[in-house]
Amino acid sequence: MFIVKSYMLAVILCVITMMCWGSWGNTQKLAGKSWRYELFYWDYVLGILLFSLLVGFTFGSFGAEGRSFMTDLAQVSLSTFGWIILGGIVFNLANILLSASISQAGMSVAFPVGVGLALVLGVIQNYIVQSKGNVLLLFAGVALVVVAIIVNSVASSRIQKLRSKNIEATKSMSSGKKGIILAIVAGVLMSFFYSFVAKGMDLDSFESPAIGKATPYTAFFIFSVGVYLSNFIWGTIAMKRPVEGEPVNYSDYFKGAGKVHLVGLLGGAIWGLGTVLSYIAAGKAGAAISYALGQGAPMIAALWGVFVWKEFKGADMKTNGYLAIMFIFFIAGLATIVYAGR
C-alpha cells in the first residue's frame, strides 16, 4: 500500500484534505438549487462508500509495504471494527446537522462555526490518543483559529443585522440563527469521530501494523460503511423531521435527475479523498496535527462562500474588515500547527 515517508509530504496531503473538506459543500449548494439537502445526502454518503472501495483496491493494494487492503480487512479485530464504525456513526449525525446548517446559514457561516469548534475539541482528544508534536505550538495554533472563529461570528452577526433592516430579510435572519445553533451542535459531535477512528489504527507503524489494527485504507472503508448504514437512521429522521420545509419521502429521491445524483456522488468522493489522505498522513504527522490541518477547511469554505456564492454581498467596510482579520488568523493558526509538527 502507499505509505507516506516524509513529514512535508504528510503536510501537503493535509493541505489537500483541508481543500477537500472545505469544498465538498459546493456540491450541496449546486444541487440545492433544485434538490433538498436531505435527498442530496443519500448520494453524498454513497459517494463516500464507493470512493473508499476505489482507493482501497488501488492505493491500498499496490506496493510491497504494509498489509494490502483485503488482507488487512480480513484480520481486523472486533474492537477495532467497533471503534471505527462508531466513528462513522457519530460523524454522520454531525455532518447531517452541518448540512442542515449550510442550508440555513450558508457556507461562510456554517463551516467556520461548526468545523472550527470541532477543530478545537478534536485536537485535544486526538492529542490524548497520540501525543505527537510540540504541544505549546499546537495549542497556540488552535487558539489563533479560535480567534478567527469568533471574528467570523461577529462578521456574520453584522451582516444579519444589515439584512434585518429589510422586511423581506427577517425570515433569512431567523434561518441564520437556527443555522448557527445547528453548526455548534454539529461541531461538538464532529470533534469525536476522528479519535474513534484513530483508536482503530496503529499510528506508530503503517509498515508493520499491529495484529488486529487497521491500515488507513481499511479504516476508511469500515468508517464509510458506518456512515452509510447509519444514514438509514439519521437520514430518515432528517427526511421525516426536516429543520425547514415539508417532510420528504424515499420516493422523492428516485424522482431526481441523473445530473443531480452525480453531483451528490461527487461531493462524497471529494470529502472521501480528503479523509483518506488525512488518515494516511496521520502516521507521519500524528493524529492531532493531521486532524487540525484538515479542519482548516472553514477558511476554504469561507473563501467559497464570500467570493463565489456572495454570501456576504452588501456587507459594509467594517464587516469586510472582520472577514480579512478572520483569514489572517486562520492562516497564522494553520502555519503554527504545521510548525508544531516539526
Nearest to 56 by CA among 2, 110, 118: 2
- Burial readout 190-213 (b: 16 or more C-beta within 10 A, e: otherwise): bbbbbbbbbbbbbbeebeebeeeb
Q: Which helix (H) or strand (E) holds 313?
A: none
- The reported pTM is 0.86
What integer pLDDT is reported at residue 306 of this predicted model?
80
- Burial readout 118-150 (b: 16 or more C-beta within 10 A, e: otherwise): bbbbbbebbbebbebbbeebbbbbbebbbbbbb
Over its length of 342 residues, how does the chain's per-residue pLDDT go in tens digits? 999 989 999 999 999 999 998 898 899 888 877 788 899 999 999 999 999 999 999 999 988 788 999 999 999 999 999 999 999 999 999 988 887 887 777 666 776 778 778 888 888 888 887 788 899 999 999 889 888 878 877 787 777 677 666 544 444 555 567 788 888 899 999 999 999 999 999 988 888 889 999 999 999 999 999 999 999 999 999 999 987 789 999 999 999 999 999 999 999 999 999 999 999 999 888 888 888 888 777 778 778 878 887 777 778 889 889 989 988 998 898 889 888 876
